[in-house]
Amino acid sequence: MPETIAGIHIPDSTIAREATELVRDAASPLLFDHSRRVFLFGSLRAQGLAYDPELLYVGAMFHDLGLTERYRRTDQRFEIDGADEARRFLQRHGITGDAADRVWTAIALHTTPEIPLHMPPEIALVTRGVELDVLGIGYDAITEAQRTAVTTAHPRPGFKNRILEAFTEGIQDRPATTFGNVKADVLEHFVPGFHRTDFVDVIKNSSWPE
């Protein structure tokens, strides 16, 4: 029987069910519940946008997969880890082209402020969901009853500190990938000896002779 939370129907297709199980198996309960909240909050913030719930669901569920031990690499941003795996997952189910590209982009850009909000709905709404759950942006754009329904289904005990721990664990072995990324703030707070790359220094110390 399809599940409904805060008036939002959770997709019940084969793809959605397999995405749920993949993330449940690979990610911690913290990241699983966060990813489900991202879908729900993103959907609640659609404000009349026409979007594909199945694509939004895959984007939300896979968006932090690059933080998990199974899927994280050390040579690229964690967002790309999740985006690449989402594309492979969709391709295995015969979803390619623009639809797969939208999911890839939604995940790849979910930590890039503002730009995703000017892109197709599935891309914008993954970011909206992440912003609401992690940063509290748009907190009052949905009702208290809606927030309660979502967090009752997917609780967030100690979430602020625990998600920061998950970010740190997932990216501390690839600090260079945080250049120009909000995750550099995480490493600066929690990894002793981390020094962020300075954009001005990169320009001044480039190979150009002048």
Element (H, E) at 153: helix 144-153
Q: Are 107 and 82 in contact (CB under 8 A)?
A: yes
Domain range for 72: 4-157
When computed from its CA atoms, the radius of gyration of the chain, rounded to whole angstroms, is 17
Q: Return d(Cα 131, Cα 92) in angstroms, integer.
A: 30
Show the tokens assigned to 6. Answer: 């805060």
* pLDDT for position 1: 62
Going along 55-110, which residue ranges are E strands?
A: none
Q: Return d(Cα 78, Cα 171) in angstroms, integer.
A: 7
Residue 202 lies in a domain: no
SS3 5: strand
* pLDDT for position 94: 98
* pLDDT for position 2: 75
Residue 203 lies in a domain: no
* pLDDT for position 106: 98
User: Cα separations (Å) of 92 from 61, 85, 98, 131, 187?
Assistant: 17, 11, 15, 30, 35
Residue 167 lies in a domain: no
Number of domains composing the chain = 1
Q: Are 81 and 65 in contact (CB under 8 A)?
A: yes
Tokens 């993949």, located at residue: 22
Which CATH number does the domain housing residue 114 bear?
1.10.3210.10
* pLDDT for position 43: 98
* CA-wise closest residue to 59 among 161, 129, 136, 135: 129
Question: Which tens digits make up the pLDDT trace of 65-118?
Answer: 999 999 999 999 999 999 999 999 999 999 999 999 999 999 999 999 999 999
Residue 193 lies in a domain: no
Residue 138 lies in a domain: yes
Show the tokens assigned to 22. Answer: 């993949």
Show the tokens assigned to 85. Answer: 């795996």
Residue 175 lies in a domain: no
* pLDDT for position 130: 98
Residue 205 lies in a domain: no
Torsion sign over Cα 47, 104, 35, 162: negative
Residue 195 lies in a domain: no
Which segments in the chain show pLDDT lower than 50?
Answer: none
Provide the 8-state DSSP code for 65. G
